[in-house]
Amino acid sequence: MAGNTGKNHRDGAVKGRSQLKGPNGNYIKRNTSNGQFMDQKTSGGKFKGVRTEK
């Protein structure tokens, strides 16, 4: 399981999640088992430790 270290990085990978860039330019997190959108990052940049879809 992934865990935050408090040193601006994450130990381990986040499983069962992927991210893609939405039409508005923000990254969107998606559940890989059912394809449901979960969260949108509004502060800019990518989610840490989450794989990026092509």
Cβ-based neighbour number of residue 2 at 10 Å: 13
pLDDT along the chain (54 residues), means of 10: 80 90 96 96 92 92
Q: Give residue 54's pLDDT.
A: 85
Q: Give residue 8's pLDDT.
A: 81
Q: Domain segments of the chain: what residues? A: 16-52
Q: Give residue 9's pLDDT.
A: 80
Residues for the chain: how many in total?
Answer: 54
pTM recorded for the entire structure: 0.78
Asked if 1 and 9 count as a contact pair (C-beta separation under 8 A), the reply is no
